[in-house]
Amino acid sequence: MSSSTFPHLRRKFVCLVAMCAAGTVGMLSIAHAQVGKPEGLYYKSWAVVVGIENYLVAPKVPGALESAHAVAAALRGLGFDEVIELQDKEASSKHLLQIFNDYLPRKVGRQDRVLFFFAGHAGITQDSQSKELGYLVPWDAQLNNPAKAITFEQLKEFSRRSASKHMLMLFDANIRGWEVTAPQPLSLEGRLSPEDETEKRAVQVLTAAEKEEAIGRAAGQSAFVTALVAGLKGAGDLNKNGWLMASELAAQVKQDVEAATKGAQHPQFVQLEGDGDVILVEGRKGAFQAGKEPTSESDRMREARIQYEQAFALLQQQKSAEEALERLNRAIGYDPSFGDAYVLKSYIRLEVLPNLEESLLAARAAVQHAPQNPDSHYSLALALERKGQYQEAEQAMQQALVVNPAYGDVYFSLGALYADHLNEPQKSVDAFRRYLELGGQSERAIRAVQANEAPAEKPVP
């Protein structure tokens, strides 16, 4: 942050505070929602949960119904609006195709979320080029006959035709074939461009096991569903930021299932379409992150810079100061030596979301980590002045001028400090004069300098 942007940002803060007091910020968000954006992440959340335990002609699948019930209950607990449960004969080939080809395409909107869960048999066949093609076995289909099956190609077509923003398919089966034909990208009219991270299209798939691996079946929930339900109830939030993403859920399920089965099952996660991530639990906006947590030092520093720039943009655009503060805290978490982030945090805590002790702590950290940034010393001076430590505030301002001798706003603050708190009138005038020489236009500084330079009145004889 340059010395010229710091006072400019202060004026922005004043505008932001005034807007919040007048309720303007709230009105802006409401108006935005009225033009097509949901107030939350989704207008509506849909789930189709299929459990087929007692097949018409295929072998029984122990625990499939209990597993499906557990998943449906977990999704309702997450606030899904429509949870369609299909059990045994309700999951016939005709009924499933009617839901995928007609019901959901008619009902689901472009700001909706769709989740499909299947517990039952899956099969494999080959196309004319001997490529593997996976399929799900409906209640009335045979295990090794894809005639009545729900093929992966049909599911891919459904995902391409669906207007939903996010879709997640969960299969308690060892199925394969997603990787055979890459899905064609679908451009939906009306999508935001450029998209916010939470708006990016996502169609994702999580299966219980890798191909050729046997699925352990017993009465009750499978290991996959046990891990899945635990994840949906909170265990999947691996980075503990309040958001539960499909990629996080997949990592947790994979870890838990491999441990529970002693390496016999390896759940598979596939990004079928888009580069977004299905959001299962929405946390606070400032804590949102897309993709994997950065691990290398260079990645963490890069992410810290991104968070800082987003926080700065939020303030410049007069948006949420709370979210800006959260992003700054994340930036500092990624890079604890990020001096500019401490400077901006100190200023927010001084002017917008007042907490003098936090402002002072952040300013001291800024001086420690970025002593060559004049704003580090200036922010410390402002916090010390607010705390009533005027001598220390003067020293901090003088240090800011050592770093940048042409920092006009520091001269103005120094002039006011000498006049208002330190009873140093000549030093005050000198500071105000230097401020004006650097291009300052404050009426207070002008009056102070003019009064000092006016000729003294001659005494009356």
Model pLDDT for residues 373-392, shown as the tens digit of each residue: 999 999 999 999 999 999 99
Report the distance separating Cα 318 and Cα 154, nearest Å: 47
Buried b / exposed e across 375-413, counting CB within 10 Å, b at 16+?
Answer: bbbbbbbbbbbeeeebeebbebbebbbebbeebbbbbbb
Model pLDDT for residues 242-296, shown as the tens digit of each residue: 889 898 899 999 999 999 999 899 998 888 888 788 999 987 765 665 555 677 8
The predicted pLDDT at position 127 comes to 67
- Which residues touch 171 (CB under 8 Å, ≥6 apart)? 117, 118, 122, 136, 205, 206, 207, 208
The predicted pLDDT at position 151 comes to 86
Question: Angle at CA 59, nearest 5°, toward 57 and 64?
Answer: 115
| 8 Å CB contact between 370 and 308 | no
pLDDT at 216 over 90: no
The predicted pLDDT at position 461 comes to 55
Q: Which helix (H) or strand (E) holds 69?
A: helix 64-77
Enumerate domains of the chain plus CATH numbers: 1-25+286-395 (1.25.40.10), 45-281 (3.40.50.1460), 406-453 (no CATH)
The predicted pLDDT at position 177 comes to 60
Question: Taking the mean position of all CA atoms in its chain, how far away is CA 107?
Answer: 27
The predicted pLDDT at position 355 comes to 95
Report the distance separating Cα 114 and Cα 329, nearest Å: 33
Model pLDDT for residues 59-98, shown as the tens digit of each residue: 999 999 999 999 999 999 999 999 999 999 999 999 999 9
Q: Provide the pLDDT confidence category of residue 460 given band limits of 50, 70 and 90.
A: low
Whole-number Cα distances in Å, 109 to 70, 105, 279 = 27, 8, 16
pLDDT at 435 over 70: yes
Report the distance separating Cα 404 and Cα 215, nearest Å: 68
Length of the chain: 461
Q: Provide the pLDDT confidence category of residue 147 given band limits of 50, 70 and 90.
A: confident
Report the distance separating Cα 362 and Cα 359, nearest Å: 5
Model pLDDT for residues 168-184, shown as the tens digit of each residue: 999 998 776 655 434 33
Q: Which of 201, 279, 204, 277 is nearest to 244 (CA)?
A: 279
Mapped onto helix, strand or coil, the DSSP state of residue 150 is strand
